[in-house]
Amino acid sequence: MFKKDRLGVLRDLNTRQQATIEELEKKVSSYCQLQGEYERLKLSEVKLEKVTFERDELEFELKRREMKGDFNPLNTKVLHLR
């Protein structure tokens, strides 16, 4: 009788441990997905900073040329591409 009770307790314990393992595996999987999203976000931020810096440099160059007299903004048409 004692062995049957012990066997039932062990099966119950095994079932709970299996459920805990599956839950932890799901958490690890979601963490890995979040880590990948974080890496992509960081890469996008770096690209954004680079493009913003290039845009600022180009705007500065346009203002410098305008002051220098290379072109007149009133007579110049600018195409905005998106």
Q: Indicate whether 2 pLDDT > 70.
A: no
> Rounded to two decimals, what is the model's pTM?
0.52
Rounded to an integer, what distance in angstroms lies between the CA atom of residue 19 and that of residue 21? 5
* Cβ contact 48:54 at 8 Å: no
For the stretch 13-63, pLDDT in tens is 999 999 999 999 999 988 888 888 899 999 999 999 999 999 999 999 888
What DSSP string runs through 29-72? HHHHHHHHHHHHHHHHHHHHHHHHHHHHHHHHHHHHHHHHTS--
The per-residue pLDDT for range 53-66, each reduced to its tens digit, is 999 999 998 888 87
Query: At residue 76, does pLDDT exceed 90?
Result: no
What are the residues whose beta carbons fall under 8 Å from the beta carbon of 72, sequence distance 6 or more?
Answer: 66
2 vs 26: which has the higher pLDDT: 26
